[in-house]
Amino acid sequence: MVGRFEPHGGYKKDFAVHAGPAQAAWDRAAFADEIRGDVDRILGVALAEDSGGRPASGAWSYWFENEDLSVRLVVADPEGDGPLDRAPAYVVPVSRSADVETWQLAERLYDGLDALGRYLLIALEDEGMPVASNFDIGDDW
């Protein structure tokens, strides 16, 4: 079965799954806790706060890696009112396994978060092309 993300995959192609709250008001700390737990469950990882600390932007960064995959979650505040500002957090899963491609991890993450019904989502391939979205993002890419 061909996945939605597969046509956008390829050697060293990464995906970013952007997320924001579907209905709740923006609260970075609460949102970070919620999405961190959901990413952990969906991908079977335990994200830890990035040892580099919080960057000057104030974004919160979490990281996990092992021999099969690496995952980075960054939760930043919105800076405007565009589609990515409605989904200001992003997760970048990268496969290191010969059995699972990065597009498969990204699709599993996107579908798992979407099934929860709590998130506005935009998946972008590493050149910025939208792959999937569960809300209207317009055509101005």
**Residue carrying the six token digits 């939760």:** 75
On the question of pLDDT at 55 being above 60, the answer is no
Strand partners, 130: 124
pLDDT tens digits for range 75-131: 999 999 899 999 999 999 999 998 999 999 999 999 999 999 999 999 999 888 899
Domain contains 138 = no
pTM over 0.85: yes
Instruction: Give the domain extent around 83.
Output: 6-133
- Strand arrangement of the beta sheet that strand 48-49 belongs to: 48-49, 60-65, 69-75, 89-95, 15-21, 119-125, 130-133
* CATH code for the domain in which residue 72 is found: 3.30.70
Domain contains 108 = yes
CA distance 18 to 74: 9
On the question of pLDDT at 54 being above 60, the answer is no
Label residue 28 by pLDDT band (50, 70, 90): very high
Report the share of the chain in percent with pLDDT over 70: 89
Domain contains 15 = yes
What mean pLDDT comes out for the span 31-42? 96
105 phi and psi angles, rounded to 5 deg: -60, -45
Domain contains 50 = yes
Q: Residue 60 to residues 11, 51, 52, 53, 90: CA-CA distances in angstroms? A: 29, 11, 10, 8, 11
Of the listed ranges 20-34, 47-61, 72-86, the one predicted with least confidence = 47-61
Domain contains 93 = yes
On the question of pLDDT at 56 being above 60, the answer is no
Strand partners, 91: 17, 73
- Note the pLDDT of residue 51: 59
Domain contains 81 = yes
Domains identified in the chain, total number: 1
CA distance 115 to 110: 9
- Note the pLDDT of residue 59: 81
| Three-state DSSP state, 105 | helix
Q: Decide: 96 and 70 in contact? Cβ < 8 Å.
A: yes
Domain contains 140 = no
Domain contains 40 = yes
